[in-house]
Amino acid sequence: MNALYVTVSIPLLLLLAGFNHAHGLTTFGKTQSNNNAPPPQPPAKTCTNHTTCNGINGASCVQDPRDHHKKSCLCGDNVPPQNGICKANYRGPNHRCTENIQCVEGAKCVPLGKNPPPNGDKACKCMEGLVESHNMCNGGIPLSALSGLIVLMSAIARTLLFN
């Protein structure tokens, strides 16, 4: 029975407490220098609608994740195009599309507004029951709820096994 508690409690403790806090200092107490940092991203083109981004293949006019008060021409992964080119394989929610296969998992390509294609644009939208989160369509429970559920289940198992 103790093996069950060990099996359940160790992953739970690692999940809640985190297990990789030692990477901040080197062996001599000096902080690590980050000379290999990628160059800063150029700012994305500001836009008001999808037609503003027509010259950039694969870009859509979506809310900028770095500044929620403006819209920018971003690639499907919410990153500004590099040299006018988008390298994203899939497009997140609210990004322009022509077919479902272009959208992230859990999203489908649907017409925007009242005009059906070819006159109107289409965009990836999360399917019913899923919500947009970090440029993905998610329907799972949050990690905090999952860890609480694990604690609850282990308490129930203990009660059932020892009573």
Residue 124 maps to a domain:
yes
Structural domain of 78: 43-162
Number of domains, the chain:
1
Closest CA to 60 of 116, 123, 135: 123
Reported as a single tens digit per residue, the pLDDT across 6-55 is 565 666 555 555 544 444 555 555 556 556 665 666 678 999 988 889 88
Residue 92 maps to a domain:
yes
Contact status, residue 160 vs residue 151, Cβ threshold 8 Å: no
Residue 17, CB-side half-sphere exposure with 13 Å CA sphere: 8
Instruction: Give me the helices (H) in 79-120, please.
Output: none
pTM: 0.59
Give dist(CA 82, CA 44) in Å, integer.
9
Helices (H) and strands (E) in the chain, counts: 2, 6
Highest mean pLDDT among 18-22, 122-126, 150-154: 122-126
Reported as a single tens digit per residue, the pLDDT across 53-94 is 988 889 999 998 888 899 999 999 999 999 889 999 999 999
